[in-house]
Structure 1
Amino acid sequence: MRATIIGLLMSGLLAACASAPEPTGPAAGPAPAPTPGKDWFFHADDGGAMLAYGVEASDDLSLRFDCTPGSGRTQLLQPAQTPAPEILIESGGDTERWTARAEPSALDDGVSLIAEAEVSHPVFQRFRRLGWLTIFDDGDRKTLVAHPGSTDRIDRYFKACE
């Protein structure tokens, strides 16, 4: 009985480890291509700043950053269909995992994964330079690329938060 319980626990741990995708290192070659109809959108007012990737003025959202100007911190919000313990972001070979909490989504039947981070983190600094990052969503890899002419939105967001 004890061996069965230990075996089940070990199987669960191995399955949990296997389900989290491992990011790859820097890709050789050109930057990834932007997705038609999707881009990074920036908004700021006295109360805060927001940078979101998706379809403008819609519920089609892949990732959102929010901050209080000058705070040096950002909140990450990633919609997902199932709860996950972390948000995983990669940009140009820099990778980080942030512990996330899951809350019911206001957009659909899924959840919103929410985490906090310093805007000075190397992943975000690389994202500012490259104009793209990759997220891992329910086992899928999604690269979120700014269209030419909109990369300044990314830099404006981080400047507002610093």
Structure 2
Amino acid sequence: MSRFNFRPVAASALATALTFSALTVAATPAEAAPSTKASAAAAASAARPYAKVTWHKRLRYGNPVTYNWRVTDSHQLAGSELVMYTRVNRKGISKIRITRKAPGGRCGVERDGSDYNIYCILKNPEDWKKFYMSFKVWQRGYSSLIADHYWRAVELGGGSVRDYTSLISSSDRIGRSTTRFYN
């Protein structure tokens, strides 16, 4: 199984706010305050939200490709929704089934031009320290299957699935997975 490990860079306002709150932890008066280098190192090593996608690189024709998402430390995303998103080209796909979804998540598949978009929107990621999403894709032909994986924390506050998935951009891409089929 292959995988992507991804920790978002502190470029968004949400990640900046998380880093800032980690730096402003007040020490009790009895403790001597550590140097600023030590507190900055502690903040840098603090756990941040983390996504991991695993899949099969090679698979016998006829078997489904299983994609497994694991998101850890999502409890730090308080006040926002989390969108996990995979885009697969529609050509040669016979069916897609979501086999495991995040608790309380809204998951599904939508057609978008020549692609299938598999998504899962989690309204309260702060309720869970770790959660999973898994889905299977069956392909008709012997060719390879290529999928792009994205995730993003958004602060939309409600709306349709299209509202959430339209916020995904190319900068939110974790990576690209390729599965080759053989006889």
Same fold (TM over 0.5): no
User: With structure 2 as the length reference, what TM-score do the two structures score?
Assistant: 0.31
- Which one has a bigger Cα radius of gyration? 2
Higher helix share: 1
User: With structure 1 as the length reference, what TM-score do the two structures score?
Assistant: 0.34
Higher strand share: 2
